[in-house]
Amino acid sequence: MNALTPIACAPDIVLKGLHKTYGSGHILHGLDLVFKAGELNVILGPSGCGKSTLLRMVAGLEDVTQGQILMGGRDVTRLPPKERGCAMVFQNYALYPHMSVADNIGYALKLARISRKEREQRIRECASSLGLEELLQRKPGELSGGQRQRVAIGRALIRKPPVLLFDEPLCNLDSALRHEMRLLIRNLHQQTGATILYVTHDQTEAMTLAERVVILNKGHVEQIGTPTDIYDQPASTFVASFIGTPPMNLLPVHCLDDNVLILADGQRLPIKLGIASNRTGKWLMGLRPETVALGQTGVTATVESSENLGSHSLLYCQLAGTRCVVSLAERQHLMPGTQVRIAIHPAPLLFDIESGQRQLVSFSQTTK
C-alpha cells in the first residue's frame, strides 16, 4: 500500500454551548468541547445519547439549535456542508450501486471538475493506500462488507479533507473485519494527520483508536480523557459500568469510627480512609476485575460460576450480597458454592452512592 499525503493544515474544532432540540425533546445540553488539530477523538456512548447528532451538526447535516461550531477559528455554525472542509463516512456505506469502485471513489473529484488525468491518478493512489487496486472496476454489490467500507473511506479521503468524520463505520462488520479496519483507520490517521471525530458505542473501538475519548450520556458529557485515564479513573459509576469487559465491580461500603471500610454484610476491609477524608458517607467501592485476586486472606465470597476464556478465566462470586467478578490470569474452574477468599486492591475507587460521582479520597492499609 502507498502512503497518503499528509494534510497541510488540519484545524481544531471548538463547540461552544451546543444545544440540539427536536420539538420538546432536548438531545444535547450545552456542550463545550475542544478537539485539537490533528487529533483522533472518539465520541463514545450508548444508543440515543446524542453522539451521532453531534457529529451531523459538525458536518452541517443537522441545524444547531443554540451555540457555535468553530473550525480553525472560523465560525461554521451556519455554513452548508460543502463549505466546512469535512468528509463523512457513514455506517451504511452510502455507495452508488450502479457505479464502479473507481467512480465511487472519484465522484467528488468529478463534481469539482478535476481533470480526468489527475482524477485517475488520485483514485489509483487512494485505492492503493486502501488495498483496493484490484477492485476498481467492480460494483459495490460484488464486494464484501469490509471492502465496501474501504471504498466509503476512499471516497472521503480522495478530497484530502482536513476533517474526517466517522459515524459508527464498523458496526455492520464481523469481529475479524472490525479489527482489520481499526488498524487501517489508525494507519490512515498517522499518514494524513487529519482531525478525526469518530462516533461509536463500542468501547473496544474507543480504547484502541482514540487519542482522547469523550463519553456522552443523555446529551451530557460524562468524562473526557485518554483511554487509560477513562479506564483507570472513571469519573462516575456510569463510566465505570460502561467501560470494561466485564465492567468495574461496584460494592456498597461505609466507614466505621476507626476509618476502616466495611462491606454491607459487616466484613471489614483491610483499607482505611486517610485522616483528611470525609468518612460520614455511604459509597460504592469500585474495583476492576483484574485488580481483585484470590488469596489465603481477604474477605469471604461464594462462587456462582466461572468462565474459561482461553487466555484467562473469569470467576463470578457473591460478595456481601453483590456480584463480584474476578479476572484470573490462570485457567481455573471452581464449583458453584465454593467459599473463596478475595484480596481487595489497596487503593480502590469510591463513588458517592447517590450522585454516582467519584470521590477524591486517600487510603492506607491496615490489618483486619
112-116: which pairs have CB atoms within 8 A and are 24 or more residues apart?
112/159
Looking at residue 289, the DSSP 8-state letter turns out to be G
Percent of the chain with pLDDT over 90: 68
Q: What order of strands is seen across the sheet that includes strand 339-343?
A: 322-328, 313-319, 293-308, 339-343
**Per-position b or e across 116-137, b if 16+ CB within 10 A of its CB:** eeebeebbbbbbebbebeebbe
Which H or E element spans position 298? strand 293-308
Predicted local confidence at residue 278, as pLDDT: 59
Residue 215: pLDDT above 70?
yes
> 3-class SS at 313?
strand
Which H or E element spans position 273? strand 268-273
Instruction: Convert the pLDDT of each residue in 81-100 to its tens digit.
Output: 999 999 999 988 889 999 99
C-alpha cell at 30: 450545552
The H helix count followed by the E strand count for the chain is: 8, 21
Residue 188: pLDDT above 80?
yes
* Alpha carbons 104 and 152: distance in angstroms, whole number: 8
Residue 259: pLDDT above 90?
no
Instruction: Convert the pLDDT of each residue in 331-348 to its tens digit.
Output: 788 899 999 999 887 678
Predicted local confidence at residue 31, as pLDDT: 97
**Band of pLDDT at residue 295, cut at 50, 70 and 90:** confident
Which H or E element spans position 13? strand 13-22
Residue 142 makes CB contacts below 8 A (sequence gap 6+) with none
C-alpha cell at 54: 453531534
Instruction: Convert the pLDDT of each residue in 92-125 to its tens digit.
Output: 888 999 999 999 999 989 988 999 999 999 999 9
C-alpha cell at 24: 420538546
Angle between helices 145-157 and 116-129 (to 10 degrees): 130
* Alpha carbons 198 and 82: distance in angstroms, whole number: 19
Q: Between β-strands 195-200 and 40-44, what pairing exists: parallel, antiparallel or unpaired?
A: parallel
Residue 8: pLDDT above 80?
no
- What's the Cα-to-Cα distance from 97 to each of 88, 100, 294, rounded to whole Å? 18, 8, 57
Residue 267 buriedness (CB in 10 A; 0-12 / 13-18 / 19+): middle
Lowest mean pLDDT: which of 128-137, 252-261, 306-315? Answer: 252-261
* Alpha carbons 108 and 119: distance in angstroms, whole number: 10
Identify the structural domains of the chain with CATH numbers, from first to last: 13-232 (3.40.50.300), 245-365 (2.40.50.140)
Report the length, in residues, of the chain. 368
* Alpha carbons 221 and 31: distance in angstroms, whole number: 7
- What's the Cα-to-Cα distance from 83 to each of 77, 117, 159, 213, 361, rounded to whole Å? 11, 25, 13, 27, 49
Q: Calculate the average pLDDT of the chain.
A: 90
Instruction: Convert the pLDDT of each residue in 23-68 to its tens digit.
Output: 889 999 999 999 999 999 999 999 999 999 999 999 999 999 999 9
Predicted local confidence at residue 45, as pLDDT: 96
